[in-house]
Amino acid sequence: MDRLSFSACVVVLQVCGWLLANEGRFRPDEASTSPTSERYSVHSSNRLKAFLTVPACSDQLDSVPDPTEAELLARTLLLSLDLEWSRREEHRPEDDGLERLLCPLLDVLRRLSTSVYLPLRKTDKSLQLTLRLLQQLGGCSETEAEKEKEKEDKVAVTLTRLLLGVVEPVHEFLLRRLSGELQELCDVDRAVLYLSLLRELVRTYSGVPSYLSNLQNNYVARLAGNCIRTLRGPSEQHSMDTIMDPIMDPIVDSIVDSIVDSIVDPIMDPIMDPIMDPIVDPIVDPIMDPIMDSIMDPIMDPIMDPIMDPIMDPIMDPIVDPIVDSIVDPIVDPIVDPIVDPIVDPIVDSIVDPIVDPIVDPIVDPIVDSIVDSIVDPIVDPIVDSIVDSIVDSIMDPIMDSIMDPITDPITFAYTESIV
């Protein structure tokens, strides 16, 4: 019982012991024809038959049944199988006994791909129960040690072998249903059921080479092709019986195919990408990139730019701007500056100067004056002084001469005569 935790195994063993002690005391099921008490295995078999019994005229547009009943029945069946195993002295349940217990379920699964008139509710219930059984088993183990331990669980080994025998019709049924038959809103949940079962089958039988080979070479390729055809255009199977069919069918088809792609792609991509990418990418990328960019950029840029710019700009600008400026400025500035500067500078000055000058001038002018004076004065002062003196002399001499000569000339003349 490696599929359960240790504590759960203890509980199962205790329940098996209680069931063995009370064997033959179970009240007959409502569908049972026996009026007396019955064994637990018979009780489980009757419950399985009742679960799979549905009216032949059940509505094909019903929603998916509640999975709770399938969950409980799966636990009941596994407990019954463990009980049969515990009853045998050699702890090896016979294959025919196990198959006999699951015969009603296996019979429905075998007829899925051939009996197109099976009630939809019957197929839903059988697939729900199969999914829950596989989930309870827990799929294949990952390590060799776990695989060795799993071999001890004969119930799990035999059950997975029996279900492997009906995988092919189950696959064919899922392929047919997922390839255009799901066209109602209630079919979206049904598609989830189908794909959950497909995922569980792949997980459980991933270690079986024949299963994987058939899945990759046949089933997945056909399923992907059908989905691509549906996504490319309207389905030819759309019903015109109601007004809403032409509206709802393409929506349901697209949802189903998108879900299918989400399951199929992870299976096929790791296999096909290493083979196809080196061949296809050099041919397709130069053609598709410009087409996709012209379609997606006008849609995505207005959405992504406001989100990404505040995140990326503080990181990228300090790195990119210096590189771009060093390349662009030497080319652009000699061309643009002579054209732009005469237009921009007066406008900027008229706006900036009235704001900046009253603040900056009182601070800058004294500093600039002191620096300029210390440099210019020793050079300019002698030149200016001589020019100013000559100008002053040329103006003042005639004036002073006209005033002073009448006074000084007689004195100077008399003094000169006395000496002579």
The predicted-structure confidence for 335-354, as pLDDT tens digits, reads as follows 888 888 888 888 888 888 88
d(CA 268, CA 156): 28
d(CA 37, CA 419): 176
Tell me the three-class secondary structure of the chain, residue by residue.
CCCCCHHHHHHHHHHHHHHHHCCCCECCCCCCCCCCCECHHHHHHHHHHHHHCCCCCCCCCCCCCCHHHHHHHHHHHHHHHHHHHHHCCCCCCCHHHHHHHCHHHHHHHHCCCCCCCCCHHHHHHHHHHHHHHHHHHCCCCCCHHHHHHHCCCHHHHHHHHHHHCCHHHHHHHHHHHHHHHCCCCCHHHHHHHHHHHHHHHHHHCCCCHHHHHHHHHHHHHHHHHHHHHHHHCCCCCCCCCCCCHHHHHHHHHHHHHHHHHHHHHHHHHHHHHHHHHHHHHHHHHHHHHHHHHHHHHHHHHHHHHHHHHHHHHHHHHHHHHHHHHHHHHHHHHHHHHHHHHHHHHHHHHHHHHHHHHHHHHHHHHHHHHHHHHHHHHHHHHHHHHHHHHHHHHHHHHHHHHHHHHHHHHHHHHHHHHHHC
Average pLDDT over residues 268-280: 63
Asked whether 124 and 190 are in contact (CB, 8 A), the reply is yes
Cα radius of gyration (the chain): 48
In the block, tokens 């840029």 appear at 301
For the cut 70, the answer to whether the pLDDT of residue 159 exceeds it is yes
φ, ψ at 26 (rounded to 5°): -80, 135
Residue 393 CA to chain centroid, in angstroms?
95
For the cut 80, the answer to whether the pLDDT of residue 26 exceeds it is no
φ, ψ at 3 (rounded to 5°): -70, -15
Contacts of 329 (CB under 8 A, 6+ apart): none
Structure tokens, 192:
């989830």
φ, ψ at 244 (rounded to 5°): -80, -20
Phi-psi category of residue 27: left, alpha or beta, with phi > 0 → left and psi -120 to 50 → alpha? beta
* Average of per-residue pLDDT values in the chain: 76
Is the model's pTM score more than 0.75? no
Q: For position 79, what pLDDT does the model report?
A: 83
Q: For position 131, what pLDDT does the model report?
A: 95
Structure tokens, 361:
């001038």
Structure tokens, 175:
């392929």
Residue closest to 77 by CA, chosen among 24, 136, 125, 18: 136
pLDDT digits (tens, 9 = 90+) for 235-256: 444 444 454 555 556 666 666 6
Residues belonging to the chain? 420
* pLDDT confidence bin for 179, thresholds 50/70/90: confident
Q: For position 300, what pLDDT does the model report?
A: 76
* pLDDT confidence bin for 93, thresholds 50/70/90: very low
Q: For position 239, what pLDDT does the model report?
A: 43
pLDDT digits (tens, 9 = 90+) for 310-340: 888 888 888 888 998 888 889 888 888 888 8
